Amino acid sequence: MAQKPVELILARQLASHLTMPIILLGAEGDLLFVNEPAEEMLGFRFDEVGELPFSEWSDSFVVIGTDGERVSREDRPLLKALTEQVPSHADVVMRAMTGEHRSVSITAVPLVSQSGGYLGAIGLIWEPDQ
């Protein structure tokens, strides 16, 4: 496995010590890390599944907008931050892998190194009523 950029290693380290649910994606959309609070919200343990290619995780979650309609893949905050390389936010209902539905706010930002290299995206998730 290729060595990851130091910024991604540090982002993972930071996320692992925070109580806010955090998802970390690589530049190609691969799921690189999910911290413990995000595991509970998403319905799987990262240490059991490990890193996942985009094709394996991207359709695992159903995301429904405040209008009750399913949010298209390209309009999901994490994927928008990843593909358009712009910050994105949405209030949605997310169905976890366990089938549980949760009303959450998701904010995602692209990760760019000091040298200008594109690294991926990081998503912060929280339940607004808690």
Under 8 Å between Cβ of 96 and 121: no
pLDDT mean over 32-59 = 89
CA torsion sign for 55, 82, 112, 123 is negative
- The whole-number pLDDT of residue 69 equals 92
Element (H, E) at 92: strand 88-95
For residue 71, CA distances in Å to 12, 31, 77, 90, 114 come to: 27, 20, 10, 10, 32
- The whole-number pLDDT of residue 42 equals 87
Under 8 Å between Cβ of 7 and 109: no
Fold of 6-126: Beta-Lactamase (3.30.450)
**Of 110, 61, 47, residue with least CA distance to 35:** 47
The domain spans of the chain are: 6-126
| Residue-wise pLDDT tens digits, 49-63 | 889 888 888 777 788
This prediction's pTM = 0.89
Residue 2 has pLDDT above 80, yes or no: no
pLDDT mean over 8-22 = 96
For residue 51, CA distances in Å to 1, 16, 75, 87, 105 come to: 11, 15, 23, 23, 24
Tokens of 5: 């950029």
